[in-house]
Amino acid sequence: MRLDILIYAHDGRGLGHVSRSLGIGMALRRLYPELKVLFISGSTFTLELLGRAPLDWVKLPSYKTEVVNGISRGISGNSMLQDQELGEMRRQDLAHFVGLYRPRLVLVDHTPQGKHRELLQALETAGDDCQWVLGVRGVVGTVKQAAIEVTQGIFKKYYSDLLWYGDRAVLGDEHCQLLARQYCLEPYECGYVSRLKEYREWNGGKSAKHKWAGVVSVPWHGQESLSFLRCLAAALAEIPGAYGSWCLFIDPDVGEMKTAVEELFFELEHCQLETPGNRYGDALMNARSAVIYGGYNSLVDILFAGIPTLVLLREMQDKEQQIHVEHLEAKLVGLLTSVPETEVGVESLKAILLQNLSVSKVRQVGVNIDGASCAAHYLHAKLR
């Protein structure tokens, strides 16, 4: 007896890798319930992102990262193991699980070697009858680990297929061409992977249109997060409660940051603080507007919800978010407004929020967000 498909996503800061992988896993369980599918990651958000979807999963000890001056770096995770030593332990874990379950196919997100090359041992010991498939986000970005020659060699040696989770109608040919040059293989275009779309398939959720004036998502804190939240609290204090209430999903963090966030919004009666989790999707679907950061997962959630949104851009070295949002803004005129988080002011923020609240009709965005189903069909065909 063998596992049909093992899905791997590395973890750390954002939810993009995990959300894409879970979206495809949920689509596989929905479309091909006879398949034996298992998800593996260190993400602490897996259960919340799945809800009641019947996708089984294995939890590894978690990585944790922080961003300093636009550069991401690893720090001690919740196990208090150092980043590099945790990578070595997870390398052995992954090799063990691949050897134990003997998957016919492994789907990997982002880079073929995994974070800190933790997939290398599994790749070397899996056997020739295991197929390896790599999936990559819409805007590749300048990920150093993905571009180096050794990475290209690993892909050529072990991988047979390359999936692209983007839409040429939005992003053009540039990113597919970059992947083709990088891995010497033409990628298969799936479309955007919407984890929220698949989540709704399994978890339902009654529609209560315009229950919230707006939903705000700050799933992890960066250097400028507190400054933005101060501006947001000041802007929301000046927006009349007659517009409705605001639901704010903010990473609670610990210590001074937690206290500061609670104090900022405590006296605003039309604001409700929530911990990021499975309530976010339902709130978003029942909101008139949103405020998000520009990661892949958050953007695709908005494409599914189709509501006017302010997108905050963190200053990251690879510029992936800026490039992605620029393409989407050009395609979806009037639906997205982007601002670097370092340039947000109270008055400008208030003006954008009020403008978004004035939009009376939810829009159909016309972007391919069926990437999860498309990828599931592709993987199923590989098993025949």
Whether the CB-CB separation of 137 and 296 falls below 8 Å is answered with yes
> What is the model's pLDDT at position 333?
84
Strand 131-137 versus strand 159-165 pairing type? parallel
Distance CA 111, CA 102 (A): 21
> What is the model's pLDDT at position 116?
82
Exposure string for 154-183, b = 16+ CB within 10 A, e = fewer: bbeebbebbbbbbbeebbeeebbebbeebb
pLDDT above 80: residue 365: yes
Exposure string for 256-285, b = 16+ CB within 10 A, e = fewer: ebeeebeebbeebebbebbebeeebbbbbb
> What is the model's pLDDT at position 89?
84
pLDDT tens figures, 50-81: 989 999 999 988 766 555 454 455 555 566 56
Residue of higher predicted confidence among 190 and 111:
190
Q: pTM score, two decimals?
A: 0.91
Residue of higher predicted confidence among 384 and 87:
384
C-alpha angle with apex 17: 16 to 18, nearest 5 degrees? 95
Distance CA 115, CA 104 (A): 22
Most confident of 36-50, 76-90, 209-223, 249-263: 36-50
Residue of higher predicted confidence among 173 and 207:
173
Distance CA 86, CA 79 (A): 9
Pull the structure tokens for residue 237. Answer: 């204090």
36: enclosing H helix or E strand: none
> What is the model's pLDDT at position 78?
63
In the chain, what are the domains? 5-193+369-382 (3.40.50.2000), 205-357 (3.40.50.2000)
Whether the CB-CB separation of 114 and 95 falls below 8 Å is answered with no
> What is the model's pLDDT at position 76?
56
Mean pLDDT, the chain, rounded, equals 88
Query: Among 158-167, 201-210, 248-257, whose mean pLDDT is lowest?
Result: 201-210
Q: Beginning with the edge strand found earlier in the chain, give each strand of the sheet holding 188-189 in spatial order.
A: 56-59, 37-41, 5-8, 105-109, 131-137, 159-165, 188-189
**Can you tell me the mean pLDDT for 156-178?**
95
pLDDT above 50: residue 296: yes
Give 163's contacts (C-beta < 8 A, 6+ positions apart): 133, 134, 135, 136, 187, 188, 190, 375, 378
> What is the model's pLDDT at position 143?
52
